[in-house]
Structure 1
Amino acid sequence: MENFGTLGLIAIIIVLFFMFLYYVPVLLWFSALVTGVHTSLIQLILMRIRKVPPTVIVRALIEAHKAGLHDIKRDELEAHYLAGGHIEKVVHALVSASKANIDLSFQMATAIDLAGRDVFEAVQMSVNPKVIDTPPVAAVAKDGIQLIAKARVTVRASIKQLVGGAGEETVLARVGEGIVSSIGSSKSHKEVLENPDSISKVVLAKGLDAGTAFEILSIDIADIDIGKNIGAELQMDQAEADKNIAQAKAEERRAMAVANEQEMKAKAQEARANVIQAEAEIPMAIADAFRSGNLGVMDYVKYRNIEADTAMRDSIAKPGSNKGKENK
């Protein structure tokens, strides 16, 4: 039992010792002291209470002190950490900017970091420009030939415009728009193929990096391919549309002609029916004339002779009747 009590006491002492080292980081305070960073042990303890990791703050202070950045203060680092910033990236960026003679203050670096941009990557891009490959951009020259161009845009981060400036997507969109405009204003696709650098000159002259977080250094046309003959396809489509319209109008006229023909046939049939009806009423009219005394026998004989003569003339006028006479 005494052994178990001794082991338990030792365990408690060890736990209390590590808790003491956690809340009272003596080693961290000592390492800061020997590197020339003056911070009190009480402040390190208060950092633990404020939920600020003392290790991150002290290491950042040591890095800044060794790089000659003596203006960075502990309170500012704590405030930036509590605001959700990245202490390590900010200090790395400040050190890199100092070595590269780039004017970057602590306030600007923290503002860029809180804006959601990688401030350390931005400083590196200011020193070492970045090459962005644009997606294939299709454009049509005035002669109707489609060209597909790919460009490489060399950009450098603009530190002063990182806060509120547009990103890479905007730069690529503007470059693509400039390529389309340049190719579209060319009289022939051959001119573009002969002088692809003319596209770069036109696009660069537009000042596409205005309002962005980057400075465009160069635009190089990496590749140009010939696409479809858009002009010919449009003409073919227009001709096909005109043909369909003409066919529709012709069909409309044919339908109207057929309707008119049917209407004329109906009117002719109606006229024939009226004639037949009138002819059927002739004997009745003659009988009424006889009864009323308006028609005599001699008048009726003359009427019959005229009718016979008319029938003979009609038979002679028919083609079949003439052929019969010739055969005889």
Structure 2
Amino acid sequence: MIAAFAIAADLSFTIAELPIGQAGPWQMLTLAAVLLVLFLLAILGFFFVRYGKLWFQAYMSVADVKLISLIRMHFTKVNPQVIVQAKVMCAQAGLNIDRQDGISTRRLEAHYLAGGNVMNVIHAIIAAHRAEIPLDFDQASAIDLAGRDVLDAVQTSVYPKVIDCPDPGRSGKTTLSAITKNGIELRVRARVTVRTNIEQLIGGATEDTVIARVGEAIISSIGSAADHFKVLENPDMITRVVLSRGLDAQTAFEIVSIDIADIDVGENIGARLQSDQAEADTRVARAKAERRRAEAIAEEQQMKAKVADNRSQLVLAEAKVPMAMAEAFRAGRITAPSH
């Protein structure tokens, strides 16, 4: 490159020393070509100085990253350090970095431009490769762009995760309350061990759904028990019933096990409900008796009013008797007896 600069400079000085009239069109074209070559070499030198270290790192790691790719990243606003580091990690981990069907530079650039976390995806693919979990770049990038943490999903798939049911951080409750058929309340706390189902991670239900389903199944299984003694004697009957229901269907997790961590006897809800019902029945009976008493009192007052009305009519009738007798005497219908 230095020799090219020297030759071009010497040629330009030679053409410049010629008189203006003696410099023909070919010399001018040659000078323009030389200047263009100098300009291109200057640009190439700038990019080589800037990205030469990255290119050499990729070359020594057999990461298959070209200098022209680094220059393209400069103009497409892609961070070349992230892409080179990702390609080096893939090459050193033994992943397929073929340009056709492997983790190529172009695919990494596309995922970066789409707003994905390139390093998180590469870490997840390497972890899955080491754990012999099938996970290709397309699937990992799709999970990442969907907003899920693909690395955490792989780690959960390798090391199962334990979820409290109920989760105090989500619902604020520490136990589930269930009632057996004999009316005894049982307070249960369960621990659900799950691992990620990568195939259903996109579109699958989250932890909240798993906790809700497990809680509902526990309450239902306890509610079907004849009495609380059977549940206390065999807590595993709850887990067997819950596991048989396939609660992890259409979720992003696979339930490994469900363990009853704690179970306590609460209140006698049945007796309390019966007591409340008896008190309510007593109040209803008292209300009905008070109603009948009020109706009887009202009816008694009505009878008294009728008696008073009848007495007044009797007095009126008695008052009319003398008047009728006087009228009869005057009319001659009644005569005084003769002596």
- Assess same fold via TM > 0.5: yes
Deviation at 1:289, TM superposition (A): 2.5
Counterpart pick for 1:114 among 129, 145, 155? 145
The CA distance in 2 between the partners of 1:29 and 1:184, in whole Å, is 67
> What's 2:197 paired with?
158
Check whether the contact 1:23–1:48 (CA below 8 A) recurs between aligned residues.
no
The CA distance in 2 between the partners of 1:180 and 1:173, in whole Å, is 11
> What's 2:17 paired with?
none
- 1:44-82 deviations in whole A, cap 9, x for unaligned? 121021011000000000000000012210011111111
Check whether the contact 1:56–1:88 (CA below 8 A) recurs between aligned residues.
yes
1:304-319 aligned within 5 A:
none
Runs of 5+ unmatched residues, structure 1: 1-18, 300-328
Counterpart pick for 1:33 among 50, 59, 82? 59
**What's the % identity of the aligned pairs?**
57
The CA distance in 2 between the partners of 1:110 and 1:220, in whole Å, is 35
> What's 1:278 paired with?
317
Residue-pair matches, total: 283
1:214-229 aligned within 5 A:
214-229=253-268
> What's 2:29 paired with?
none
The CA distance in 2 between the partners of 1:142 and 1:151, in whole Å, is 21
Check whether the contact 2:47–2:71 (CA below 8 A) recurs between aligned residues.
no
The CA distance in 2 between the partners of 1:55 and 1:298, in whole Å, is 150
Range that drifts further, 170-179 or 275-284 = 275-284
* Paired residue type of 1:92: H
- 1:267-303 deviations in whole A, cap 9, x for unaligned? 111111111111122222222232233334459xxxx
1:103-252 aligned within 5 A:
103-135=134-166, 136-252=175-291
Deviation at 1:137, TM superposition (A): 1.3
Check whether the contact 1:24–1:41 (CA below 8 A) recurs between aligned residues.
no
Check whether the contact 1:200–1:219 (CA below 8 A) recurs between aligned residues.
yes
Range that drifts further, 38-47 or 23-32 = 23-32
Deviation at 1:237, TM superposition (A): 2.1
Counterpart pick for 1:98 among 129, 132, 153? 129
- 1:244-274 deviations in whole A, cap 9, x for unaligned? 2222222221222122111111111111111
> What's 1:75 paired with?
106
- 1:87-142 deviations in whole A, cap 9, x for unaligned? 01110011111111111111111111111111111111111111111112111100
Check whether the contact 1:24–1:44 (CA below 8 A) recurs between aligned residues.
no
**Structure-1-length-normalised TM-score:** 0.82
Moved over 6 A (4+): none
Range that drifts further, 27-36 or 46-55 = 27-36
**Structure-2-length-normalised TM-score:** 0.79
Check whether the contact 1:24–1:45 (CA below 8 A) recurs between aligned residues.
no
The CA distance in 1 between the partners of 2:64 and 2:317, in whole Å, is 134
SS of 2:65's partner is coil
The CA distance in 2 between the partners of 1:292 and 1:55, in whole Å, is 142
Range that drifts further, 217-226 or 27-36 = 27-36
* Paired residue type of 1:54: P
> What's 2:10 paired with?
none
Check whether the contact 1:52–1:78 (CA below 8 A) recurs between aligned residues.
yes
Check whether the contact 1:137–1:149 (CA below 8 A) recurs between aligned residues.
yes
SS of 1:180's partner is helix
Counterpart pick for 2:295 among 230, 243, 256? 256
The CA distance in 1 between the partners of 2:49 and 2:105, in whole Å, is 18
Runs of 5+ unmatched residues, structure 2: 1-44, 97-101, 167-174
* Paired residue type of 2:95: L
Work out whether 1:85 is the aligned partner of 2:124.
no
Work out whether 1:49 is the aligned partner of 2:88.
no
Check whether the contact 1:138–1:148 (CA below 8 A) recurs between aligned residues.
yes
